[in-house]
Structure 1
Amino acid sequence: MIALHQRRAQARRTRRLRRIGTWVLALGGALVLAVGLPWLVWRGPYLLDKGYINTATLGEASGSATLITGLRTALVACAAAIGAGVALVYTIRNYRLTRRGQVTDRFTKALERLGSNHRYVRIGGVLALEQIVQDAPEQATHAAQVLGHFVRDRAPARPGPPNAPDGKPTTTDTLLPMPLEADVQVALTALTRPKSRTHVDDFERLYLGTLHLPGALLDGADLTGAKLVGTNLTDARLFTANLMGADLSQADLTGADLSQADLTGADLSQADLTGANLVGADLTGANLREANLTSVNLREAILTGASLVGADLTDAYLAHADLTGADLSQADLTRANLRVANLNGASLPGANLFGANLGTVVGWTTEQVRYASVSAETVLPPGLRMDGGPSTT
């Protein structure tokens, strides 16, 4: 999946080249009409057919005069054709202005649909906005803003505190977990579609923080740099999604499918990933400090340089995972399966390895495990010396 900033840069270059081409064409035409054409009508025949023109007999109704007149007539006809081309340019310009008005009218009608009391009408409004983005990419930022507000307005909020500071019940007390409505799902799909986000302004961030989005289907979604702080994505599907640099701190991703997702540099501190599927996910440099990774599936995941300080990896499946240079200080790896995992340069001071399977890990050294806690059930690599090392039970 091509990075979002690369796609945006390519789109900007294309638009810039189109504008430059239009100006070059307009200026070139004006120059030809104002300077080139008069000069060519005057001197052209003498340059193009000078071998056939006898200047000494021009005033005697000779063939040379006829030749010059014919060439000048042809040049005037060419000028008329150029004029027609200029008129065509203005026609195109007027067409664009008319089209812009039509897009604005379509945008307004789509907004009216989004405010309907009927779900299918709201879905139609979302689809209309997405079609507008395809037809007029310059409206992508406006459409993203509208869809973002629509999702935040329609998606149920996470329950708030039991009581307000004045002791009165808050309006969120009665909110119960609700499945994701169809119109919200359609809006999320349109909002995170890579092709649509390509044209969204760099400064327009996707903010879905503190929303309740259980079971959201976001396969292949582009959530680069999205703000998902405290969002509930229980059982959500984010297969192959792009979450580079996304803020998922304190998010609820219980049972979520994040296999093959790109979470490079993402902030997952204190997030709940209990039972989540992260098979083959790229978590290079991700912040998983104090995250709950109980029973998570991280098979073949890339955790190079990731911070897992204090993370709960109880019963986690880390077979073939790449933990090169990862910080697992104070992490709980009770009964974790690290078969053939790469722990080259990983830091594990204070890590709990009770019952963990480390028998076939790669890059493991005595120094790494020296200050970790192991038990009699911990499976260590053959021949590993524990002299003066870790605490045991």
Structure 2
Amino acid sequence: MNGKGSFFVELGTLIVAVVTMFLSIFTYGNTSGLEEKKQTNERFLASLERLGSKSMAVRMGAMYILEGVNKEKDSDRKAAVEIMSAFIRYHQPRKTRANKEAKCGSLARPKTDVQTTATILGRRNTKGEHFGVGEQPELHDTALTRIDLHKAQLDKADFTDSDLRCARFVGAHLRKTVLVGAFLQRANFSDADLTGAKLQYARLSGVIWRNTTCPDGTNSDTASNTCEIHLSTH
């Protein structure tokens, strides 16, 4: 898909997610008069109003509002994760095949509001919870070179075909995460948990495997500091 087509697909996805959230708010608002839910709805609306702002600071504020909503009702969490995921895909799409080898210092970092959104998604499980069905971040086909996902909890997230060269996954929880076809050259997976992760066709040259839990459950330190021979085949 060309860049223009991808742009409109992600724009449409973001609009659908927002409309879905509005419908959820409307339906719940007509079946419950709870003050707590009213306040949640108001925060949803406040965040949605800010998402289209030209100001990065305002957009970042919207994500922090969504983070608060993300800790509440299951249906609200699902909508919040969908919107944050669509926001990242829309603002940071992968436009090239990223085949060229490049030094980390020459690669662009994600936009500040995209990094903030990814950080918020990654700390959504700080109490040891896991993403439920339909809540997994959909971050496929994104350009997230040099992104910092230190200690992020992104079990089951989908990074298919994403450009994650020089990404920092130190201490991250990536159990059953989908990294099929991802560009992971020189990414740092030190102390990360990749149990059950899918890395078929991923580009892995220069990856740092230090005390990494490999997809098959082994530890990289017992396999010549690599997980490349211990990838999940399922």
Q: TM-score, normalised by structure 1?
A: 0.44
The amino acid across from 1:99 in the alignment is E
- 1:63-74 alignment runs, 5 A limit: none
Change in Cα spacing, 1:200 to 1:274, as seen in structure 2 (3 Å) is closer
Q: Which residue of 2 aligns with 1:229?
A: 160
**Contact 1:137–1:199 (CA under 8 A) maintained in structure 2:** no
Local SS of the residue matching 1:300: helix
Q: Which residue of 2 aligns with 1:358?
A: none
Residues 118-170 of structure 1: per-residue CA shift (max 9 Å, x gap)? 11110111111112334x3442222111111111111132327xxxxxxxxxx
Correspondent of 1:210 among 134, 141, 152: 141
Displacement of 1:299 after TM fit? 5.5
- 1:124-203 alignment runs, 5 A limit: 124-134=61-71, 136-138=72-74, 139-159=76-96, 178-193=108-123, 194-195=125-126, 198=129, 200-203=131-134
**Contact 2:84–2:117 (CA under 8 A) maintained in structure 1:** yes
Structure 2 CA distance, aligned partners of 1:222 and 1:183? 19
Structure 2 CA distance, aligned partners of 1:322 and 1:110? 41
Higher relative contact order (CA 8 A, sep 6+): 2
**Contact 2:89–2:139 (CA under 8 A) maintained in structure 1:** yes
- Provide the identity percentage: 28
Change in Cα spacing, 1:326 to 1:260, as seen in structure 2 (3 Å) is closer
Displacement of 1:204 after TM fit? 2.5
The amino acid across from 2:46 in the alignment is K
Change in Cα spacing, 1:300 to 1:219, as seen in structure 2 (3 Å) is same
Q: TM-score, normalised by structure 2?
A: 0.71
The amino acid across from 1:274 in the alignment is S
Residues 226-282 of structure 1: per-residue CA shift (max 9 Å, x gap)? 211111111111111111112211111111111111111211122112211110111
**Contact 1:133–1:196 (CA under 8 A) maintained in structure 2:** no
Change in Cα spacing, 1:197 to 1:322, as seen in structure 2 (3 Å) is closer
**Contact 1:217–1:237 (CA under 8 A) maintained in structure 2:** yes
Local SS of the residue matching 2:34: helix
The amino acid across from 1:191 in the alignment is L
Displacement of 1:210 after TM fit? 1.4
Correspondent of 2:175 among 244, 247, 250: 244
Change in Cα spacing, 1:285 to 1:219, as seen in structure 2 (3 Å) is same
Change in Cα spacing, 1:247 to 1:326, as seen in structure 2 (3 Å) is closer
**2:45 counterpart of 1:114:** no
Structure 2 CA distance, aligned partners of 1:104 and 1:196? 24
Residues 85-106 of structure 1: per-residue CA shift (max 9 Å, x gap)? xxxxxxxxxx970121121011
Change in Cα spacing, 1:110 to 1:322, as seen in structure 2 (3 Å) is closer
Matched residue count? 189
Structure 1 regions of 5+ residues with no counterpart?
A: 1-94, 161-176, 287-297, 304-317, 328-393
**2:17 counterpart of 1:98:** no
The amino acid across from 2:221 in the alignment is E
- 1:327-342 alignment runs, 5 A limit: none
The amino acid across from 1:209 in the alignment is H
Local SS of the residue matching 1:279: coil
The amino acid across from 1:251 in the alignment is A
Residues 331-369 of structure 1: per-residue CA shift (max 9 Å, x gap)? xxxxxxxxxxxxxxxxxxxxxxxxxxxxxxxxxxxxxxx
Correspondent of 2:192 among 252, 261, 266: 261
Structure 2 regions of 5+ residues with no counterpart?
A: 1-31, 98-106
Structure 2 CA distance, aligned partners of 1:234 and 1:203? 27
Structure 1 CA distance, aligned partners of 2:110 and 2:34? 40
Local SS of the residue matching 2:54: coil
